[in-house]
Structure 1
Amino acid sequence: MANTPSAKKAVRKIARRTALNKIPRTRMRSFIRKVEEAIASGDKTAAQDALRAAQPQIMKAAAKGIVHSNTASRKVSRLAHRVKTLG
């Protein structure tokens, strides 16, 4: 437990930042889930549309510092590869 005033303030700041970061992170994960569900169903056009919608959300999360830019690029790349290999 935080004892000093600065540590108590840091706890408040972290809680506030976590709450703000939660919204775009959840949004990004929802878009990724939609792509993965479309891939699982085997529908290539739906998967392509879902990927086209998910890519800006993933990169926006990276731009805001929610995820690292390399992580975002890797996620987009792997999803694109899986969509491309669909029959």
Structure 2
Amino acid sequence: MANIKSAKKRVLTSAKRADRNQAIKSAVKTEIKKVRSAIDAGNKEDAAKALICATSAIDKAESKGVFKKNTASRKVSRLAKAVAKM
């Protein structure tokens, strides 16, 4: 642990931010899994609904700074392409 007060605060805030980012990433992965499982099951309606939720989660993660803009766009694009291909 650091000795300087500002360094101690940075350690605490960066740990808090890392936890928050991890939770957001986990939520996005869960939404993506829902889309993938609906695609594997062949249920187009559920896949379309799950795609909307996943897109929203990915966009929200992008706005929070968890994903970069191009990464978020790539994830959304690949999911949308997979659903459209059904």
- TM-score, normalisation: structure 1: 0.84
In the TM superposition, what whole-angstrom CA distance separates every residue of 1:50-79 from its partner, at most 9, and x where no partner exists? 101111111010001011111111000000
Please say which of residues 74-83 and 11-20 is displaced more in the overlay. Answer: 11-20
- Structure 2 equivalent of residue 63 of structure 1: 63
Rounded Cα–Cα distance in structure 1 between residues aligned with 2:36 and 2:77: 13
Structure 1, unmatched stretches of 5+, are none
Give the count of matched residue pairs. 85
Q: Which structure 1 residue ranges, 4+ long, deviate > 3 Å from structure 2?
A: 6-9
SS in 2 for 1:67: coil
Rounded Cα–Cα distance in structure 1 between residues aligned with 2:45 and 2:29: 20
In the TM superposition, what whole-angstrom CA distance separates every residue of 1:11-46 from its partner, at most 9, and x where no partner exists? 222111111222222211111110011111121111
Rounded Cα–Cα distance in structure 2 between residues aligned with 1:85 and 1:45: 13
> Are 1:75 and 2:46 an aligned pair?
no
Structure 2, unmatched stretches of 5+, are none
Q: CA RMSD in A?
A: 1.5
